[in-house]
Amino acid sequence: MSREERMARAGDYVLGLMDEKERTRAERDMEIDAEFRDCVIHLAERFHAFDKDVAPAEVPGDMWQTVAARIADMPQMTAADIARERLDLTTLQAPDPSRKGILQLKRPYAHQFAGWRGGLIAACLIGALGVGYLSGQAMGPAPEPVVVVVLADEDNAPGAFVEAYGNDAVRIVPLVDFEVPQGKTLEVWTLYDRDVGPVSLGTFGRSTEITLQGPDQPMPQPQQLYEITLEDAPGSPVGRPTGPILVKGLAVRPPR
Amino acid sequence: MTADNQDDACTLLLGRVAAGERGALAELFKIEAGRLVAVARRIVRRADLAEEAVQEAFVTIWRKATLFDPGRGSGRVWMTTIVRNRALNMIRDGQRMEFVEPQTLAALGDAGGEADLAYEALPAASDLRRCLDQLEPVRRRSIVLAYVGGFTHGEIAGRLKAPIGTVKAWIRRGVIALQECMS
């Protein structure tokens, strides 16, 4: 995103000119793009000048009681719940170990997923998670992934499945055929620390399953962000994502 | 209580809400609900809808308090954003259209006037005021109508009798210039 584009988009967000989908997307981007987030926060703080000294309106006496009654039995969302809501993959569930051996899908799963939505996606993902996760075990020396991630596009359609291991390696299973024009490449990123920023785990040129050995990094954690961007070959020259985000997702820890 | 103290108080209270303390939310409600209803009312134009927006917002604040990160700005701004978004959703869902009656049309007209008043009320020394003052009047007015009144590009175009594309360009150029000026 160019600087101007970033400022214009922050403006649309803060002014309230985005529709709900654009807003959800902007809020997700704030989680991974520190510059955009800072831009939004800075602008929102400045525009708060319009709101902070507004003369208070009258508040009906029973209004708090209504709020109190509504939250009386309402649990608070955990960070994980919030991340899941962002992804809007609320129907996604952890793989069910009992599926072992039932699903014998061949990868890549592109054709299995084309056009699937909603609950069907969830069902497929459970299958994909189960198969990917379990075949990792079946291959022998491959360790169990520490976390797994379903990376979805902006319409929340799943586009890739990632397993991250404790030895800095990740296995990428594309679920769609990403178009990679001449001179471009796919680059995989993760964000384990906002202060560090996105870290490249490697690049791959075609939409096929691949295992990449990333740089030395902390043990992958649930809720850690993974994304794939389209970069100029041989990879982002600046060590940060510069191209469009194709898919992204937050890690979950598979049940043992 | 000065605004800055209020900021700090809200941020501290939000931390307690995040820890599951309902009493802290009650305190937040006591000190902020009136202001937030006024902010929502500038957008939804009706007292009952503004109260509904704030009520919903407080439920959201309860549910999502863990999301608030004091390292990323003030609690008041965070809560205000939730209220604004809730109010904007209500009118974008078409509720503003559903109650278009003569008196409401007048109220919508007032929203424009209220945006002007909000602009006039900005402290002359504030960065926002200083930088808005430097914008061409149509750009400034478009931006203030969007933020204060919650107007869409289309509604602003209607009010200012300009094509939507032109309004979009005014706002885009305007917010970029504003940020350059305030940075």
A28 neighbors A55 (Cβ within 8 angstroms): no
A49 and B122 within 8 Å at the Cβ level: the answer is yes
Highest mean pLDDT, choosing among A104-108, A153-157, A230-234:
A230-234
B54 chain-A contacts, CB cut-off 8 A: 63
Q: Residue A127: its pLDDT value, please?
A: 38
Residues in B touching A62 (Cβ below 8 Å) = none
pLDDT, residue A188, reads 94
Among B37, B55, B128, whose Cβ lies nearest the Cβ of A67? B55
A94 or B22, greater pLDDT: B22
Whether B54 shows a pLDDT value over 70: the answer reads yes
What share of chain A has pLDDT > 90, as a percent? 33
Average pLDDT of span B56-71: 91
Bridge partners, residue A188, by sequence: A202, A228
> Across-strand partners of A148?
A163, A252
Q: Is the pLDDT of residue B21 over 90?
A: yes
Report the range of poorest mean pLDDT among A135-149, A152-166, A182-196, B93-107. B93-107
pLDDT tier for residue B26 given thresholds of 50, 70 and 90? very high
* B17-41 CB burial, b ≥16 within 10 A, e <16: bbeeeeebbebbbeebbbbbbbbbb
Q: How far apart are CA A214 and CA A201, in angstroms?
A: 4
Lowest mean pLDDT among A15-19, A70-74, A114-118, B94-98: A114-118
CA distance A110 to A113: 5
Identify which of A8, A56, A68 has the shortest CB distance to residue B35: A56
| Structure confidence by residue, pLDDT tens digits, A54-82 | 999 999 999 999 999 999 989 998 766 66
> Between these two residues, B72 and A47, which has the higher pLDDT value?
A47
Query: Three-state SS for A70?
Result: helix
B176 contacts on A by Cβ (under 8 Å):
4, 7-8, 11
Phi (first) and psi of residue A212, to 5 degrees = -115, 145
Q: Give chain A's end-to-end CA distance (angstroms, integer).
A: 40
- Distance (Å, rounded) from C-alpha B183 to C-alpha B179? 6
Residue A53 and residue B84: Cβ atoms within 8 Å? no
Q: A115: which 2 tokens? A: 């056009």
- Which one of A16, A41, A67 has the shortest CB-CB distance to B29? A67
- What is the band of A240 on the pLDDT scale with cuts at 50, 70, 90? confident
Tell if the CB–CB gap between B118 and A50 is shorter than 8 Å: yes
Through-space distance between the first and last CA atoms of chain B, rounded to whole angstroms: 28
Q: Judge: A76–B127 Cβ closer than 8 Å, yes or no.
A: no
Average pLDDT in the A184-207 region? 90
Q: Do A15 and B3 touch (CB under 8 A)?
A: no
Q: Pick from B25, B30, B172, B173 the residue to mutate for testing the A interface (most A CBs within 10 Å).
A: B172
Annotate B119-135 with b (16+ C-beta within 10 A) or e (fewer).
Answer: beebeeeebbbebbeeb
Least confident span in A202-216, B69-83, B89-103: B89-103
**How many other CB atoms are there within 10 angstroms of residue A149's CB atom?**
27
Query: What pLDDT was estimated at residue B110?
Result: 66
pLDDT of A33 strictly over 60? yes
Give the pLDDT confidence of B110-133 residue by residue, as tens digits. Answer: 667 888 889 999 999 899 999 999
Chain A hits for B38, Cβ within 8 Å:
54-57
**Over residues A18-27, mean pLDDT:** 86
Quote the CA–CA distance of B177 and B138 in Å, as a whole number: 14
Of A94-98, A184-188, A212-216, A247-251, the least confident: A94-98
Nearest by Cα to B93 from B60, B145, B139, B53: B53
Is the separation of the CB atoms in B178 and B135 below 8 Å?
A: yes
CB contact, 8 Å: B97 with chain A? no
- pLDDT class for A29, splitting at 50, 70, 90? confident
Does residue B14 surpass a pLDDT of 70?
A: yes
Burial class (CB in 10 A: 0-12, 13-18, 19+), A220: buried
Give residue B94's region: left, alpha or beta (phi > 0; psi -120 to 50): left
| Domains of chain B, start order | 1-99 (1.10.1740.10), 100-183 (1.10.10.10)
What distance in Å separates residue B99's CA from the closest CA in chain A? 21
Q: Tell me the C-alpha distance between A34 and A225, whole Å.
A: 13
pLDDT at B40 over 90: yes
**The predicted structure's pLDDT at residue A124:** 39
Cβ contact (<8 Å) for A20 and B89? yes
Q: Does B108 touch chain A (CB under 8 A)?
A: no
Grouping H, G, I as helix, E, B as strand and the rest as coil, residue A148 is strand
Answer for the pair B79, B36: CB distance below 8 angstroms, yes or no: yes
Residue A100, pLDDT > 50, answer no
